[in-house]
Amino acid sequence: MKTVFSPLHAGHAGNFELISGAIVPAFEKPSRAEFIKARVESEKLGPVLPPETHDIAAAKQVHTSDYIDFLPTVWPLWEESGRTGSAIPFTWPTRGLRGDVRPQTIDALLGFYSFDGGASFVKGTWEAIKSSYDVALTAAALVKCGEISAFALCRPPGHHAGAAFMGGYCYINNAAVAAQWFRDQGARRVSILDLDYHHGNGTQEIFYSRDDVQVLNLHGDPMTEYPFFLGHADERGAGAGEGFNVNYPMPFGTAWDGWNASLEDACAKLAAYAPEVVVVSLGVDTFEKDPISRFRLKSADYPRIGRRIARLGLPTLFVMEGGYAVEEIGINAVGVLTGFEDR
Ligand code: FKS
Ligand code: ZN
């Protein structure tokens, strides 16, 4: 399997986040991608290719044009306002406030285009976002051109980003962009299988009213787990999309047996939908030693996931999302991929 990777992710570094009452270095850090790349190489998964540069237009097929245009302006506006450090949102137009009026200062715009303070900017953040987008589309093109599968080693991740907002370490929704790109290239139906520990609220929002992209999501129950405000089992899609969004919220402590039962059900629904291509939002923060998550999957479980996905017999694009146990992130992520190749 070919991997697409860009070193430009590394400029998105030194970010901070608010967690458990303290501001700490962000868990989403450059070494994550480097450990995965190292494991791709040591396991001889296949060649590691640089991305080709893609026009930003494909991002605007799933995100609003004004949101995408905002992203490269953040750091310049931040510097113009005389600040250093990290640009972090801190005020949101929630219930009772005006979310329909686009404000004018950088602090206001950061809040207007986000749902939490988890997507911050440093100097190299936009270049990393763009490279992650290029990685996803380059890997998607490999699948379109006949590869059975490809691995988009994206960083930053994407599945929390909605049509007009960032959050949860995510800016451009790489998996959604790729799925839409497959549609625009002629695929009639695309399935997105989101295996990250956290619900892919952005992906759900983007495709919620559509029947041409099926979205299946396995995750920690939002009653108790981030992102809290989406991802319940009764969210099944709207209008033409009714029945094409499927959520599998699971309790803290879920281990292989419980998680695999959800995977089996999701795979059955996916097979019944008969898509032309599958996009896997590959998060490995379901791991028992993940520092911010509460499922109990073991390293030996990840190849089993890959084997199950391979049994669908469909062209498959793997798009990297979360995973914070950096020592094992490569073993687990690449474990899915070698499992897919049944080796
Ligand atoms: C407050 C604590 C909230 C945010 C967790 C974000 C998870 C991101 C992810 C992704 F795949 F997008 F990377 N924790 N700062 O793993 O879902
Ligand atoms: Zn996650």
Residue-wise pLDDT for 258-316, tens only, equals 999 999 999 999 999 999 999 999 999 999 999 999 999 999 999 999 999 999 999 99
Phi/psi at 228 (nearest 5 deg)? 65, -40
| Tokens encoding 340 | 């897919």
Using a pLDDT cut of 90, give the percent of the chain over it.
100
pLDDT tens figures, 40-59: 999 999 999 999 999 999 99
Give the contacts of 160 (CB within 8 A, at least 6 positions apart): 115, 118, 119, 166, 167, 168, 169, 170, 173, 198, 200, 201, 202, 227
Give residue 196 CA to ligand 2 midpoint distance, Å. 5
Phi/psi at 71 (nearest 5 deg)? -55, -50
With a 6 Å cutoff on the Cβ, whether 19 touches ligand 1 is: yes
Q: Given the CA of residue 321, which atom of ligand 1 is nearest to it?
A: 11
Phi/psi at 119 (nearest 5 deg)? -120, 100
| Ligand positioned closest to the Cα atom of 292 | 1
With a 6 Å cutoff on the Cβ, whether 287 touches ligand 1 is: no
What is the distance between the alpha carbons of residues 219 and 250, in angstroms, rounded to a whole number?
6
341 C-beta neighbours (distance < 10 Å), count: 15
Amino acid at residue number 214: Q
Strands 2-4 and 149-152 turn out to be parallel
The DSSP element (H or E) to which 274 belongs, if any, is none
Catalytic residue, candidates 54, 63, 159, 160: 160
pLDDT tens figures, 110-157: 999 999 999 999 999 999 999 999 999 999 999 999 999 999 999 999
- CA-derived radius of gyration, the chain: 18
pLDDT at 343: 87
Q: Given the CA of residue 18, which atom of ligand 1 is nearest to it?
A: 15
With a 6 Å cutoff on the Cβ, whether 324 touches ligand 1 is: no
Nearest CA to ligand 1 atom 5: 168
Residue 12 is a catalytic residue: no
Query: Is residue 62 within 8 Å of residue 206, measured between CB atoms?
Result: yes
Phi/psi at 287 (nearest 5 deg)? -65, 140
Q: Given the CA of residue 293, which atom of ligand 1 is nearest to it?
A: 5
